[in-house]
Amino acid sequence: MGGDQIVRTLLGDEVEDEHGEAIREAEGETYAEFMPEVKAFDGAHEMIGRLKAEGVRVVLASSAKEDEVEHYIDLLDASGLNDGYTSASDVDSTKPEPDLIEVAIEKAGKGSAVMVGDSVWDIEAAKRAGLDTIAVLCGGFGEAELTGAGAVAVVETIDQVAGEILTG
């Protein structure tokens, strides 16, 4: 869930209206300090490579700021593997709204698609865009929560994602 959504969701309309921008600014400054500590999941680069080798178009649909998404792509060593990305700057509303997913589908050249995500917000955004979601147990949500939100499959590791996509 992007910063445009999370303050209101967690703290309500009054806090959003009075303090939303200040909270987002403080979050951005704090997150920037920790960004060097962010690591890619083991197997993520290989998963993207395997999907690309099988002809799958890969677009990262993130609610993050553009510079953060570019940092993540560098961490994944995926600049030559992905077919583009979305960021919060591409849309008016981030997840769980479907806007980012719709932009990602457009960047992928339309056609059939599946969402890979790790949160109930990813699943909700995908459902609103008409996509199924394969959920990975790495975002702090349990299998029951992800299945309950509508994930068509829940996997424990990144390594299992490509298999689900290619056989699903």
The confidence score (pLDDT) of residue 168 equals 67
CATH topology of domain 38-167: Rossmann fold (3.40.50)
The confidence score (pLDDT) of residue 159 equals 85
CB 104 within 8 A of CB 116: no
Q: What is the mean pLDDT of each run of 10 residues along the chain (168 residues)?
A: 83 94 90 91 90 90 90 91 89 91 90 90 94 93 97 93 83
The confidence score (pLDDT) of residue 76 equals 92
The confidence score (pLDDT) of residue 162 equals 87
The confidence score (pLDDT) of residue 103 equals 93
Domain ranges of the chain: 1-37, 38-167
Residue linked to tokens 């002809």:
55
The confidence score (pLDDT) of residue 120 equals 94
The confidence score (pLDDT) of residue 5 equals 82
